[in-house]
Amino acid sequence: MQWNSVGEFFAMGGYAFYVWGSFGVTAVALAIEPLLLRKRQRDVIDSLRRERKADERQGTGA
Binding site for other proteins (CB under 8 A): 1-3, 9, 12-15, 17-19, 21-23, 25-26, 29-30, 33-34, 37-38, 40-41, 44-45, 48-49, 51-52
CA distance 21 to 8: 17
Sign of CA dihedral 46, 49, 53, 54: positive
Q: Toward other proteins, which CB reaches closer, 25 or 57?
A: 25
Q: In the chain, count H helices and then E strands.
A: 2, 0
Q: Toward other proteins, which CB reaches closer, 21 or 57?
A: 21
Q: Toward other proteins, which CB reaches closer, 30 or 62?
A: 30
